[in-house]
Structure 1
Amino acid sequence: MSTSPKSLRETNDLRHLRQIIAGLDEGVILIDPDQSLLWANDAALAMHGVERLDQLGATVDDYRARFQLRYRNNHRLAADDYPIERVAAGDSFSEVVVEVTVAGEEDPRWVHQVRSLVLNDADEDVPTCVVLIVQDVTARYEAEDRFEQSFNANPAPAVICRLADLRFVKVNQGFLEMTGQDRDAVLGKTVYDIDVLHGADQRDLAKQRLAEGRTIPQMEAELALPDGGTKLVIVAGQPIDLDERPCMLFTFADLEPRRQAESALRHSEERFTRTFQLAPVPMAIGARDGHVLCEVNASFTALTGYAADAIVGRSLADLGLWADDTVRGDVEAAIADGGDLRSHEARIAVRDGDAIDCVVSTETITIGDASCLLWAFQDITQRKATELELVEAIEAVMKDTSWFSRSIMDKLARLRAPQPDADGPGLDALTAREREVLALICRGLDDKSIARALDVSGNTVRNHVARIYAKIGVNRRTAAAAWARARGFDDGAIALRSIARGTAQRGAA
């Protein structure tokens, strides 16, 4: 014998049921088997923005006409797919999420999560009432939408992976632009397919924290790029819940610009150092405060006789470089309060006690965070001597014009080809090794080249050069070469013999 659904409307149980569910936070709508709406609690009415049952609709068809439902992907529900239709048909379902729009409006007002319940008659086992249970999850989904929007709009690169399988479920535009990856190439891949912890300085700690779902502290890592290169980043991980599932949010800071800047700075410093050391102009670098030197070049050593290890860490005043306190005072006054010298004439005292006339210039530079001075010296001793000779010649002319031709011509000849001082030191004052070094100087070789030619150390060559300067009374290589040639020094033969002997010694070694 067939049985037809028995309406709960015909029983006294409806009143008791209403009393039980009236105060629930969840919305409850009771539907008669004939698809009429029996009753709804206050929560269900509020979730639809109405105050009375008739405003929901007298029947399932009325409800569908007054409220339009869409899935979260914006697809409209067919009539038979409405949760209220499905529950009226006795369908059992849970956690269906829909957006609810009031008829006549464009935008949805609420997001509902609904499930069904069928109440059967205990005796006849036929449905007496079907129940639609509604939860308003609008706030939760609005928060998720706001998170989604801010996540995608955030320029800071970020990805999110599920902790259950370590697969990426979200990636923002910042990460795609930083790495050059494709969105589809990232989503669904694991943390180790696209290794966001590659080269991390605390990789083991990061893997342990990831497995435990705990915060991963900031650390440097090398992100692998699709083109095979890497990018230096700072990566950190923060546990979050996404769609009620535990996830890990990885954020990144791109350190590649910093690495490139550091590399460019390092190369710039290397170029500066090479240029500084090879410059033919005597130069030194020192602190502006106290003028303590931190670097000198080879030309400075050749001019003053002070090697780097003897001068670095000492001030110019402590070194006694200035010829007297007056010169020192003038120089220090000129560069006080951040000023710089420009072609300032000053006399300096070199290591052997001689005085040299120089033009001194300075330039403020920054090394690290310190303000320093770059000192440049130009030896004008010969020029000043020449100027003095010209003055003397002019004075002689003014005194005796008949002597003009002989005197001036003699002075000009001396300017073009300085004559050796008959009373000065001769070649006999030099040792055999010093004559070899002098011969190579005359050939235009620098200290390093001389050291290689003679198979000796650079310090040994510098010591020989300093002794040669001291013996013949010069302070520059060009002056030493001129001194030697003025005395008919056969530099070519000696130089070739020295180079041959040095080459043989290296071959034997």
Structure 2
Amino acid sequence: MSTAPVLKSLRDSADLRHLRQIIAGLDEGVILVDPDQSILWANEAALGMHGVTAVEDLGANVDDYRRRFQLRYRNNHRLDRADYPIERVVSGEAFSEVVVEVAVAGEKDPRWVHQVRSLVLTNDADEPECLVMIIQDVSARYEAEDRFDQSFNANPAPAVICRLRDLRYVRVNQGFVDMTGHDRDTVLSSTVYDIDVLANGDKRDIGKRALAEGRTVPQMEAELDRPDGTTRLVIVAGQPIEIAEEPCMLFTFADLEPRRKAEAELRHSEERFTRTFSLAPVALAIGTLDGQRLCDVNEAFTSLTGYTPAEIVDGSLGHVDLWETPAIRHAIEADISAGRAIRDREVRVRPKDGDIIDCIVSTEPIQLGNDACVLWAMRDISTRKASERELVSAIDAVMKDTSWLSRSIMEKLARIRAPQSEPTGVGLDELTPREREVLALICRGLDDKSIARTLGVSGNTVRNHVARIYSKIGVNRRNAAAAWARARGFDGDSLLAQRAAAPAQRQTAA
């Protein structure tokens, strides 16, 4: 009858004391477990990693340890009974780098993060004699990683991290997801070859070599492919980092797409402006803000001034003596230098052929690219001014002899010639009787000598009366005075009739 072999426990061996002496001063925590699942011993480091001071506080055996300490994975999933590292140790399983969060029973939040590996000590018969659980407290490292993850995820700047040994993406933040349109899970299941962050980069070959060697990837422009078939213009750079002691590459991005769209819109806007500028029927020129240099002129400007672009561009308007007088030039240049816009200012311009023309000039500050400029607009009004002068001359000629015109026509011509002679607050009552007589004769079209003979006074007296009338009613011409009187219903006929009847009435009375 055979007898089954009985495993000899290290508890009964003198080697336990020697083993304890060897591992007592180690920085790593060491827990020795007997094959019968009882906890034999733990060094100071292991006790400190569980917040206790004696081996008995860890528990008498494996079941007791499970009741006192609750373990979960980093993804918050609780460990099943068989998954506890101490259970796996006593089952003889060899494992390394199992990371668990450890909480004291009854507490919700874990206190420590342990990285655990196992070791099985055997006797001469290759039978388990002692089971060893070796622990590292990696709480500080994982706390730092948690802080990094929180900062990384919260950072609005797009970023992604790949592991160097296989170039697989291990971190991606929301900024990268929003910018590229890729799903987070898709990115984390891809490599740099699948989602190429250096695509079409102007230094792509240099960047690929740096990535392969784990060196800093220099900043470069690149176009990232999006799932919808479009691309995104970015600036990308790579910085080597470590995550969980794993060499990685952190790629950060600056989104240039808004700038590209703005530049495209600006380019289209400038193209439209250029077409409008060139084809505009009004004479236009673009100059520097100080008014000292012209940058461009259109065809209408060339037609108006007679100067070709080659003759006037890069020079000033004053350089070609375009203004009729230095006073006009200095006044315009002073306004431009002071940043004052000019609005519909009538000036006289001397084109290349020397003939003076009347123009209306306006200016407007504009921005072309990064340059502050002035847009000049000129309109030839010589024809209109000539017509006005001809009309004024005709009115003057007519007003010299109004005896053959009806009074209504004369009044209309007077108003056209002297539009300033509108009724004012002055009334006829403010004129003396003699001044009213003089005004009545003015309305009849008489000159000063005729008025003097009619009234029987000297010419100087008439001139003094006329001057006082002008001063009182606010005019300075005879036709304006006549228009002022008629606007108030006074033509002088009744007054003159009364004056003519006065001698006859005196003779009758005698």
3-state DSSP of counterpart to 2:229: coil
TM-score (norm 1): 0.76
Structure 1 residue 289: Cα displacement: 1.9
Q: Which amino acid aligns with 1:88?
A: V
3-state DSSP of counterpart to 2:35: coil
Q: Deviation string for 1:92-123 (max 9, x for gaps)?
A: 3222221111000011111111122223334x
C-alpha separation in 2, matches of 1:167 and 1:37: 42
3-state DSSP of counterpart to 2:347: strand
The structure 2 residue matched to 1:66, chosen from 68, 93, 105, is 68
Q: Which amino acid aligns with 2:75?
A: N
C-alpha separation in 2, matches of 1:11 and 1:203: 65
Q: Who is 2:262 aligned against?
A: 261
C-alpha separation in 2, matches of 1:186 and 1:97: 25
Q: Which amino acid aligns with 2:294?
A: L
Q: Who is 2:176 aligned against?
A: 175
Q: How does 1:39-58 map to 2 (within 5 A)?
A: 39-58=41-60
Q: Is the 8 A contact 1:28 1:132 kept in 2?
A: yes
C-alpha separation in 2, matches of 1:346 and 1:140: 80
Q: Which amino acid aligns with 1:41?
A: N
C-alpha separation in 2, matches of 1:74 and 1:149: 17
Structure 1 residue 2: Cα displacement: 3.1
When structure 1 is superposed on structure 2, of 23-32 and 361-370 the one drifting more is: 361-370
Structure 1 residue 125: Cα displacement: 4.7
Q: Who is 2:498 aligned against?
A: none
User: Is 1:93 aligned to 2:95, yes or no?
Assistant: yes
Structure 1 residue 180: Cα displacement: 1.5
Q: Who is 1:371 aligned against?
A: 372
Q: Is the 8 A contact 1:201 1:221 kept in 2?
A: yes
Q: How does 1:491-502 map to 2 (within 5 A)?
A: none
Aligned-residue sequence identity (percent) comes to 68
3-state DSSP of counterpart to 1:319: coil
Q: How does 1:191-270 map to 2 (within 5 A)?
A: 191-270=192-271
3-state DSSP of counterpart to 1:338: coil
3-state DSSP of counterpart to 1:271: helix
Q: Who is 1:395 aligned against?
A: 396
Q: Who is 1:287 aligned against?
A: 288
Label 1:302 to 1:125 Cα distance change in 2 as closer, same or farther (>3 A): closer
3-state DSSP of counterpart to 1:313: coil
Label 1:326 to 1:107 Cα distance change in 2 as closer, same or farther (>3 A): same
3-state DSSP of counterpart to 1:160: strand
Q: Who is 2:20 aligned against?
A: 18
Structure 1 residue 402: Cα displacement: 4.4
C-alpha separation in 1, matches of 2:307 and 2:268: 28
Cα root mean square deviation, aligned: 2.2
TM-score (norm 2): 0.75
C-alpha separation in 1, matches of 2:166 and 2:87: 37
When structure 1 is superposed on structure 2, of 221-230 and 309-318 the one drifting more is: 221-230
Q: Who is 1:149 aligned against?
A: 150
3-state DSSP of counterpart to 2:60: coil
Q: Who is 1:188 aligned against?
A: 189
Structure 1 residue 181: Cα displacement: 1.6
Q: Which amino acid aligns with 1:185?
A: T
Q: Is the 8 A contact 1:4 1:126 kept in 2?
A: no
Q: Who is 2:304 aligned against?
A: 303
C-alpha separation in 1, matches of 2:376 and 2:243: 64
User: Is 1:131 aligned to 2:132, yes or no?
Assistant: yes
Q: Deviation string for 1:343-389 (max 9, x for gaps)?
A: 11111110001111111111111223332211111212122222222
Q: Who is 2:123 aligned against?
A: 121
Structure 1 residues not aligned, in runs of 5+:
413-509
Structure 1 residue 290: Cα displacement: 4.4
User: Is 1:354 aligned to 2:355, yes or no?
Assistant: yes
- Structure with higher Rg: it is 2
3-state DSSP of counterpart to 2:202: coil
Q: Which amino acid aligns with 1:196?
A: V
Q: Who is 2:467 aligned against?
A: none
Q: Who is 1:463 aligned against?
A: none
Label 1:75 to 1:277 Cα distance change in 2 as closer, same or farther (>3 A): same
Q: Deviation string for 1:12-42 (max 9, x for gaps)?
A: 3332222211110000112233322222111
Q: Deviation string for 1:70-112 (max 9, x for gaps)?
A: 1222222222322222323333322222111100001111111
Q: Who is 1:27 aligned against?
A: 29
Q: Which amino acid aligns with 1:38?
A: L
Structure 1 residue 153: Cα displacement: 2.3
Aligned residues: 407
Structure 1 residue 135: Cα displacement: 0.8
Q: Which amino acid aligns with 1:107?
A: D
Q: Who is 2:81 aligned against?
A: 79
Q: Is the 8 A contact 2:290 2:337 kept in 1?
A: no
C-alpha separation in 1, matches of 2:294 and 2:285: 7
